[in-house]
Chain A
């Protein structure tokens, strides 16, 4: 049980709740979503409450996060994309903090469940679709027809473009989900090796050094992945939003 690498993804009900026939219990996943939001909101609100002209450390972190996301968004979607800044910023911080929470032993990783990442990805694609059609009308479909392509080629390219657009939410959600899932499983498996080998006596203890080193290295890698996946999610969101704003590329 202790070395079962899948067990960490188990959802347990902390507060059973049922509304209109749906099981909407407050689970460990919900708890960590609340913790993610509470921690990041509290940090961002309190660190900036002083409104220091010269920022302290905490305020610097908040400002850096702000400028980091603002730069990504402005570079990929232009100044008009800045109206989606709260969305991209929220997505980035939420995913980053949820990923980092998952790095604590015994903590639940919210983003290791496909339904969460899929919901976030569909939110992004939904906004891209709605805003794209609202802003450009039927001209949004130009997104699927690259400019200056002869009609014969367009017959081949348009289906490819449509397919690539449809696969966006899929890739966006699966990338994050799979990274978190695989990383945590790998970590758990190597850590499990350490436990198992140590239980085999002195020789096992020597043998356990290798998976231990792996575990340490993987932990560092997972911290990188936790940041990187949040970054990738944010930057892809920016690029998709750019398509909604400027559909003819």
Chain B
């Protein structure tokens, strides 16, 4: 049974290719009696498949891919923005640093100038004070000298009057002594 069947199909597959198209042949792919069923079921299944693909699956995948590429583009944009911002911040920082440096320099120069000026004026003031004090002191010395010198005369007169009175027995007035001293001083 098997042998005859095998033989039968064997001959059919060799010579049966054109013969099979007649229908009812033993070589299944050319058996036209199955065509109607195959075509119908292909139309149903492939039609359904096409419908599902075009209405559900492909729009969905396209959506997914679009959302992803949008997201990537958005992230890249954001990253660029951040980079720009940080660049700006660095530039601003550097500018401020430079400004602060120049400002600090200015303050330092100003302070040192001021300090110098103050020291100068203080020194001048002190010098002026000192010279004023020196002048008054010299004046005072001169005055004292003057007073002392003038008092030396009267002391001498008093002393002379006392001595004369002691020696001569005291009848000489003070005025006579003074006039005598002045006389002696003139001669």
Contact = CB atoms under 8 A, between A and B. Distances in A.
Contacts of B30: 114
A113 B20 CA distance: 13
A177 B29 contact: yes
A87 B53 CA distance: 9
A205 interface: no
Nearest to B60: A48
Would you call the interface of chain A mostly helix, strand, loop, or mixed?
A: helix
Given A4-B9, A53-B71, A112-B29, A48 B38 contact: no
A131 interface: no
Interface string A202-242: 00000000000000000000000000000000000000000
Interface residues of B, number: 43
B61 A53 contact: no
A22 B36 contact: yes
Contacts of B45: 30, 33-34, 36-37
Interface stretch (B62-70, B117-125, B131-139, B174-182): B62-70
A62 B53 CA distance: 12
A6 interface: yes
A90 B67 contact: no
Nearest to B55: A86
Interface string A45-66: 1001001110100010011001
Interface in B1-49: 2, 5-6, 9, 12-13, 26-31, 33-43, 45-46, 48-49
A interface, size bucket: 35 or more
Interface string B97-110: 00000000000000
A23 B36 contact: yes
Contacts of B73: none
B29 A41 contact: no
The 5 A-B residue pairs whose C-beta atoms are closest, nearest first, are A86-B54, A30-B41, A33-B45, A9-B28, A22-B36
Given A48-B61, A53-B67, A66-B65, 15 more contacts: A9-B27, A22-B40, A23-B33, A27-B34, A29-B37, A33-B46, A51-B64, A66-B58, A85-B58, A86-B58, A90-B54, A94-B49, A113-B38, A115-B29, A116-B42
15 contacts: A6-B28, A7-B9, A11-B31, A26-B41, A33-B41, A33-B45, A40-B49, A53-B68, A55-B64, A67-B65, A87-B50, A90-B50, A90-B54, A112-B29, A115-B39
